[in-house]
Chains A and B, each alone.
Chain A
Amino acid sequence: MLKALIVDDEQHCIDRLERLLRSSTYNIKIIAYCKTIDEAIKEIASRTPDILFLDVQLGNGTGFDLLSQLDHIDFEVIFTTSYDKYALKAFKFSALDYLLKPIDNTDLDNALQKLRQQKNLKETSQKIDILFHNFKESNPSSKRIAIPTVAGFTMLDTKQIIRFQSDANYTHIHTLSNKKITASKTIKYFEDILDDNTFFRVHKSHLVNLDYIEAYTKGKGGHITLSDKTRIEVAVRRKDELIQKLRA
Chain B
Amino acid sequence: MSRPTQKKYCFLLIFLVHFLGTSQINKLDSLKNELKANTSKDTIRAGLLIELASELTYSEPNKGFSLIEEALAISKKNTWIKGEALAQRQKGNLHYVLADNLNAMDAYQKALVLSRKIPDKQLEASVLSNLGNIHADLKEYDQALQNYRAYLETSRTLGNRAEEIKALSNIAIIYNDTENFEEGVSYLNKALTLAKEEGNDLFIAAITNNLALAYKNLGEHQKALFHYQEAMAMAQKIGNKYIEASALNSIGKINLLLKNYAVAETYASNALSLSKEIGAVEWEADSWEVLSKVYEQNGKMPEALNAYKKHIQLRDSVLNEEKKSELTRKEMQFQMERQQAVANEEIKRQQLAKIIYLIGAIFFVLMAMFGYYIYKRRRDALEKKKTAEFNAKVSETELKALRSQMNPHFIFNSLNSISDFISKNDIRQADDYLVKFSKLTRAILENSEKKSITLSEDLELMELYMQIETIRLQNKLHHQITIDQDIEPNNTLVPPLILQPFIENSIWHGIAPKNGDGHIDIKIEKEGDMLKYVVDDNGVGQSKKNVRGKKSNGSFGIKITKSRIDILSHIKNKKGSVNLMDKPEGVRVEITLPLELQF
Residues of A bordering B, CB below 8 Å: 83, 100, 102-105, 188, 203-204, 235, 237-238
Contact = CB atoms under 8 A, between A and B. Distances in A.
Given A100-B438, A188-B490, A235-B599, 5 more contacts: A102-B434, A104-B436, A237-B597, A237-B598, A237-B599
Nearest to B445: A83
A78 B429 CA distance: 26
B599 A203 contact: yes
B463 to A, nearest CB: 15
B439 A104 contact: yes
B160 interface: no
B580 interface: no
Contacts, number: 25
B435 interface: yes
A204 B491 contact: yes
Contacts of A237: 597-599
B442 interface: yes
Contacts of A238: 599
Contacts of A102: 431, 434-435, 438
B599 A83 contact: no
Contacts of A100: 438-439, 442
Interface of B: 431-432, 434-436, 438-439, 442, 445, 490-491, 597-599
A102 to B, nearest CB: 5
**Max chain A C-beta neighbours (<10 A), residue from B438, B442, B490:** B438
B514 to A, nearest CB: 31
The 7 A-B residue pairs with the shortest CB-CB distance in the complex, in nearest-first order: A204-B599, A235-B599, A104-B435, A102-B435, A102-B438, A237-B599, A203-B599
A83 B442 contact: yes
Nearest to B493: A237
B55 to A, nearest CB: 97
B578 to A, nearest CB: 26
B436 to A, nearest CB: 8
Contacts of B490: 188
12 contacts: A100-B438, A100-B442, A102-B431, A102-B435, A103-B435, A104-B435, A104-B436, A105-B432, A203-B599, A237-B598, A237-B599, A238-B599
B529 to A, nearest CB: 13
B194 to A, nearest CB: 96
A203 B597 CA distance: 12
A106 to B, nearest CB: 9
A90 B566 CA distance: 39
A235 B432 CA distance: 43
B417 to A, nearest CB: 17
Contacts of A104: 435-436, 439
Contacts of B599: 203-204, 235, 237-238
A13 to B, nearest CB: 13
A100 B443 CA distance: 12
Nearest to A100: B442
Contacts of B491: 204
Contacts of A188: 490
Nearest to B456: A188
A245 B446 CA distance: 24
Contacts of B439: 100, 104
Contacts of B435: 102-105
Contacts of B436: 104
A233 to B, nearest CB: 10
Nearest to A206: B599
B434, B438, B599: residue with the most chain A Cβ atoms closer than 10 Å: B599
A38 to B, nearest CB: 31
A103 B442 CA distance: 13
Nearest to B437: A102
Contacts of A83: 442, 445
A133 to B, nearest CB: 26
Contacts of A235: 599
Nearest to B441: A83
Contacts of A103: 435
Nearest to A205: B599
A100 B442 CA distance: 10
A36 B518 CA distance: 51
Contacts of B434: 102
A102 B435 CA distance: 6
B493 to A, nearest CB: 9
A204 B442 CA distance: 27
A98 to B, nearest CB: 13
Nearest to B435: A104
A79 to B, nearest CB: 16
Contacts of B438: 100, 102
A154 B597 CA distance: 33
A238 B597 CA distance: 10
Nearest to B446: A85
A120 B598 CA distance: 40
A202 B144 CA distance: 93
A188 B457 CA distance: 12
B328 to A, nearest CB: 82
Contacts of B432: 105
A237 B490 CA distance: 15
Contacts of A203: 599
A151 to B, nearest CB: 27
A235 B435 CA distance: 40
Nearest to A221: B599
Q: Residue among B431, B432, B435, B491 with the most chain A CB within 10 A?
A: B435
Nearest to B598: A237
A83 B434 CA distance: 16
Contacts of B445: 83
A41 to B, nearest CB: 31
A119 B310 CA distance: 152
Central interface residue in A105, A237, A238, by most chain B CB within 10 Å:
A237
A103 B599 CA distance: 36
B565 to A, nearest CB: 21
A235 B597 CA distance: 11
A56 B431 CA distance: 23
A83 B439 CA distance: 11
A31 B598 CA distance: 50
A170 B439 CA distance: 27
A188 B490 CA distance: 10
B492 to A, nearest CB: 12
